[in-house]
Amino acid sequence: MNNNNLIWPELAARSLARVWHPCTQMARAARRPPLPLARGEGPWLFDTEGHRYFDAISSWWVNLFGHSDEGLRAAITAQLHTLPHAMLAGCTHEPVVRLAERLCARTGGALAHASFGSDGASAVEIALKQSFHAWRNLGLEGKRGFVALRGGYHGETLGALSVTDVAIFRDAYDPLLMRSHLVDAPDTRLGNEDQALATLAALLEREADRLAAVLVEPLVQGAAGMVMHSPRYLSELRRLCSAHGVHLIADEIAVGCGRTGRFFAWSHTEPAGPADWPDFLLLSKGITGGTLPLSVVLSTEAVFQAFWSDDPTRGFLHSHSYTGNPLACAAANAVLDRFDAGQEARCAEQARWLDEAFAPLARDPRVAHPRQRGTLLAFDVPGAPADFAERFHLAARTRELLIRPIGRTVYLMPPYLITPPIAAWLADSVTATLNDVV
Ligand SMILES: Cc1ncc(COP(=O)(O)O)c(C=O)c1O
């Protein structure tokens, strides 16, 4: 079977002619035409020629239970027959209310209100605006700066890019962006958590009066190359932000919904009470199991109260046409049903199987810094050639595997469908791909 031939199937050619693909230099796309997909089933994506690919990266980290999952399909279909959509200003509906209640309850009420957007970036925009506006309503208009971690990624709208530190996405738009502060990111590979905290503490000491919030991707900076840190860093970060009166925004768009083994990555800090949670917690991607676009910004009672007034200009008037879309909320409620029914334990078991299966590869001399959080695993290949990511991706495709390394970092973030044989097959296939490329 040759999945790697460059004779474009008709759909790929038509796509290149008319569809402006994301994250793609279209002039170069001809060399790597898009995979023309026909359908998805479980962890597999099938192309129009009938070849299959194991979606080891959950289609940009959104898919949780496999493609075309029956439970999610049923939830969305039932909702489609009752109320597909209604505006959320001046109206409400059961799916959005239940979802807000259930997500807040999962924080023990520490986060008490839910705002809705469509994509991760729109959730980031909401959090940035709510943080700034809350301080403004409290008479602290000068608190308008944001602090982000080096290498961090929060999306690609202008506000989100202003707190994103990935040059390839950011640099062209730099003249349009807000000025944010960047601080060192903690990285288990460097053992620099205390130094990273000290740098941040110094900035907060100096600038707190001008700062609205610090943003963090809890436990794993995804787009930076699966850069990991400890729950202790997050607890210390919480302590520092509280001490200096600066909001803390936990962007769990990538790491939420069980990716790190717990529904919220933040839960790894073992919060003892409301004060141990962030001021904002953002979810998207997996929240609908990879079926429909939805994002959620959870915020504290204190933030909400800062907007409570008869004066409309003190309210949070932000909206999107599809805010709180019932279909997406029904899908999210079906995702929460799985977690209510023990999904975390299943994730833990699957994480163990992956850990065992990948143990030999972790000892391979070509591999550096093998690391894992829940079912998310990554390793670096420091000696790899500059075009490693592209070559690895194409080689993996010939082995029925969909993987897109970030630079010289290979990572897997598969749907929660891992069994011991699948874990073994994944480890064998990744090793074989590495042998093809390095
Ligand atoms: C941590 C994080 N925040 C925000 C985003 C942006 O989400 P979206 O692509 O849905 O706008 C992403 C996307 O990868 C992400 O990983």
Residue 60 lies in a domain: yes
Residue 361 lies in a domain: yes
β-pairing, 295-299 vs 280-283, is antiparallel
Would you call 277 helix, strand, or coil by DSSP? coil
Question: What pLDDT, in 10s, does the model give residues 344-366?
Answer: 999 999 999 999 999 999 999 99
Kindly state the tokens that stand for 57: 């990266």
CA of 255 to the centre of ligand 1 (A): 10
**What pLDDT does residue 157 have?**
98
Predicted confidence (pLDDT) at residue 105 exceeds the cutoff of 60: yes
Q: How far apart are CA 402 and CA 54, in angstroms?
A: 6
**What pLDDT does residue 6 have?**
52
**What pLDDT does residue 32 have?**
81
Same-domain check for residues 293 and 371:
no
Same-domain check for residues 212 and 348:
no
Kindly indicate the confidence band of residue 397, based on its pLDDT and cuts at 50, 70 and 90.
Answer: very high
Same-domain check for residues 248 and 133:
yes
Question: What pLDDT, in 10s, does the model give residues 154-195?
Answer: 999 999 999 999 999 999 999 999 999 999 999 999 999 999
Ligand 1 site-directed mutation target among 128, 229, 284, most atoms within 8 Å of CB: 284
Question: What pLDDT, in 10s, does the model give residues 132-141?
Answer: 999 999 999 9
Same-domain check for residues 228 and 324:
yes
CATH number at residue 54: 3.90.1150.10
Question: What pLDDT, in 10s, does the model give residues 253-296?
Answer: 999 999 999 999 999 999 999 999 999 999 999 999 999 999 99
Q: Among 340, 374, 397, identify where a domain stops.
A: 340
Residue 32 lies in a domain: no
Same-domain check for residues 43 and 126:
no
**What pLDDT does residue 209 have?**
98
Q: How far apart are CA 255 and CA 265, in angstroms?
A: 6
Same-domain check for residues 251 and 152:
yes
Same-domain check for residues 225 and 357:
no
Number of domains present in the structure of the chain: 2
Ligand 1 site-directed mutation target among 23, 58, 216, 285, most atoms within 8 Å of CB: 285
**Which of 185, 189, 187 lies closest to 200 in space, CA to CA?**
185
β-pairing, 401-402 vs 52-55, is parallel
Predicted confidence (pLDDT) at residue 3 exceeds the cutoff of 60: no
Residue 34 lies in a domain: no
Range of the domain at 257: 71-340
Same-domain check for residues 262 and 349:
no
Residue 203: Cβ within 10 Å count: 20
Kindly state the tokens that stand for 39: 């359908």
CB-based contacts of 69, cutoff 8 Å, min separation 6: 289, 291
Q: Among 313, 340, 367, identify where a domain stops.
A: 340
Same-domain check for residues 363 and 318:
no
CA of 353 to the centre of ligand 1 (A): 28
**What pLDDT does residue 320 have?**
96
The CA distances from residue 399 to 389, 392, 434, in Å, are: 15, 11, 11
User: Which residues contact ligand 1 via a Cβ below 6 A?
Assistant: 119-121, 124, 153-155, 217, 222-223, 251, 253-254, 284
Nearest CA to ligand 1 atom 2: 154
Kindly indicate the confidence band of residue 1, based on its pLDDT and cuts at 50, 70 and 90.
Answer: very low
Q: How far apart are CA 322 and CA 331, in angstroms?
A: 15
Residue 356 lies in a domain: yes
**Which of 225, 203, 229 lies closest to 214 in space, CA to CA?**
203
Question: What pLDDT, in 10s, does the model give residues 90-104?
Answer: 999 999 999 999 999
CATH number at residue 83: 3.40.640.10
φ, ψ (nearest 5 deg) of residue 393: -60, -45
Same-domain check for residues 172 and 259:
yes
Atom of ligand 1 nearest to the CA of 221: 1
Same-domain check for residues 190 and 326:
yes
Predicted confidence (pLDDT) at residue 2 exceeds the cutoff of 60: no
Residue 17 lies in a domain: no
Mean pLDDT over each residue of the chain, to the nearest integer: 96
Same-domain check for residues 177 and 53:
no
Angle value at C-alpha 164, between 258 and 129, nearest 5 degrees: 85
Q: Among 306, 340, 374, identify where a domain stops.
A: 340
Q: What percent of the chain has pLDDT over 90?
A: 96
Nearest CA to ligand 1 atom 7: 120
Note the pTM of the prediction, 2 decimals.
Answer: 0.97
CA of 128 to the centre of ligand 1 (A): 14
Q: What is the mean pLDDT of residues 297-312?
A: 98
Atom of ligand 1 nearest to the CA of 155: 6
Count of CA atoms in the C-beta half-sphere (13 A) of 104 = 17
CA of 154 to the centre of ligand 1 (A): 5
CA of 421 to the centre of ligand 1 (A): 31
Residue 237 lies in a domain: yes
Residue 231: Cβ within 10 Å count: 17
C-alpha dihedral over 104, 66, 403, 174, to 10 degrees?
-40
**What pLDDT does residue 230 have?**
98
Q: What is the mean pLDDT of residues 216-241?
A: 98
CA of 297 to the centre of ligand 1 (A): 13
CB-based contacts of 335, cutoff 8 Å, min separation 6: 64, 65, 72, 257, 286, 287, 288, 289
Predicted confidence (pLDDT) at residue 4 exceeds the cutoff of 80: no
